[in-house]
């Protein structure tokens, strides 16, 4: 049995579907009131569980040999969800997984950067990686660059969200809702992409769908262990992304870079009054500062994951879908 922790998220639900598609027995850990009918229809068994309620985890782990975990607090919708609390929840999960006889743990993580300690979400990822390292369980921590469907949408477009089930950006998190209302379609309406940091920042953008394939492939390759950097098929600057949007839409699109110091100042100012909003600004600060200009095609080939989707292919496919589809 494989357990997905974070099964109601955008990546988590894709992993559930991918495992079910492969005909594997998959259990999706969910929190009420989400009924997760779509996951049941996809072939998953549901179990109620919450990382913040450790007493719920043993039942979720019963008979489980592999855990795939994507749960995170970047767009929190339940009271008490934050990065530090979640890291404590992961500590319980990992300890209980060990007792339950779990043999493999595949964890969704982010690349190492010089800002790790000042961005709560990344700091929590590093804590969980250390817990996994110390647990003795065979694990892979998949350090992924910005996801194409998320960050090209955050730059001001609704196109990357078309056809996506359970998008993170549609979670009922008020700060995100307000941000999307303000900036969600600046590319389509004004031909402007608003990005954190300089237009020259380079990233190996990765499709969430390919991330799901990579994480499920790691279940069966136990000799890929520890932290592993994974990227998409090409390295793009924001200027490259604007050119692709322009080609797909057939009209000019320009980049409006926003100075990283704005995010740093916002992160600091909100840290006491609105910690989750502060954490989001910290994440933008990170994206505006760090780069992921790497080629990891050897790793994906080793995992048997081929045909990673380019940003252009994703945008062209999605632009052909109906608006709101
Ligand atoms: N966005 C990027 O560009 C990027 C890049 C690299 C890596 N990553 C990582 O990739 C993963 C993305 O996952 P995603 O798209 O599925 O996330 P998501 O859409 O933000 O969903 C969050 C998930 O975490 C669950 N969760 C939060 N707190 C929980 C708790 N206390 N107990 C149990 N579940 C809890 C949520 O459950 P509820 O629905 O019940 O709240 C939901 O299933 C994350 O780990 C992220 O850090 C993201």
36 Cβ closer than 6 Å to some ligand 1 atom:
no
145 CA → ligand 1 middle, Å: 15
Which residue, among 112, 3, 99, has the nearest Cα to 47 in the 3D structure?
3
Ligand 1 closest atom vs CA 30 = 40
- pLDDT digits 0-9 by tens, 183-193: 999 999 999 99
318 CA → ligand 1 middle, Å: 23
Residue numbers in the chain where pLDDT is lower than 70 = 325
153 Cβ closer than 6 Å to some ligand 1 atom:
no
> Residue length, the chain?
325
Q: For the chain, first and last CA: distance in Å?
A: 33
CA 84/CA 276 separation, integer angstroms: 11
12 Cβ closer than 6 Å to some ligand 1 atom:
yes
Q: Peptide bond preceding 270: is omega within 30 degrees of 0, i.e. cis?
A: no
What residue owns the CA closest to ligand 1's atom 40? 31
CA 234/CA 46 separation, integer angstroms: 37
CA 294/CA 225 separation, integer angstroms: 19
Ligand 1 closest atom vs CA 78 = 41
Query: Which domains does the chain possess?
Result: 2-319 (3.40.50.720)
142 Cβ closer than 6 Å to some ligand 1 atom:
no
78 Cβ closer than 6 Å to some ligand 1 atom:
yes
Q: Where are the beta strands (DSSP E) in the chain?
A: 2-5, 26-30, 45-48, 66-69, 104-109, 138-143, 192-196, 202-203, 226-229, 236-237, 254-258
């Amino acid at each position: 049995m494989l357990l997905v922790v974070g099964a109601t998220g955008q990546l988590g639900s894709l992993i559930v579907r991918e495992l079910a598609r492969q005909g594997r027995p998959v259990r999706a850990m969910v929190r009420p009131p989400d009924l997760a009918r779509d996951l049941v229809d996809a072939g998953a068994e549901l179990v109620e569980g919450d990382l913040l309620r450790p007493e719920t985890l043993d039942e979720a782990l019963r008979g489980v040999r592999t855990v795939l975990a994507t749960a995170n607090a970047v767009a929190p919708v339940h009271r008490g969800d934050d990065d530090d609390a979640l890291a404590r929840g992961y500590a319980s999960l990992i300890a209980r997984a060990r007792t339950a006889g779990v043999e493999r743990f595949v964890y969704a993580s982010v690349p190492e950067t010089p800002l790790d300690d000042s961005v709560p979400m990344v700091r929590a990822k590093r804590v969980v990686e250390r817990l996994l390292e110390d647990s003795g369980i065979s694990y892979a921590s998949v350090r992924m660059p910005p996801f194409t469907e998320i960050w090209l949408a955050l730059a001001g477009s609704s196109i990357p969200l078309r056809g996506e089930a359970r998008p993170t950006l549609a979670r009922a998190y008020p700060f995100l809702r307000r941000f999307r209302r303000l900036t969600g379609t600046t590319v389509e309406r004004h031909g402007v992409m608003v990005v954190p940091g300089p237009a020259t920042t380079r990233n190996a953008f990765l499709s969430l769908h390919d991330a799901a394939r990579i994480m499920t492939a790691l279940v069966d390759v136990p000799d890929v262990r520890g932290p592993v950097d994974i990227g998409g098929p090409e390295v793009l600057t924001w200027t490259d992304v604007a050119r692709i949007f322009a080609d797909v839409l057939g009209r000019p699109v320009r980049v409006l870079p926003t100075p990283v110091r704005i995010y740093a100042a916002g992160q600091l100012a909100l840290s006491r009054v609105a910690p989750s909003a502060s954490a989001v600004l910290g994440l933008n600060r990170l994206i505006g500062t760090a780069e992921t200009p790497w080629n990891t095609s050897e790793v994906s080939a080793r995992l048997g994951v081929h045909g990673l989707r380019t940003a252009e292919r994703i945008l062209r496919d999605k632009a052909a879908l109906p608006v709101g589809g």
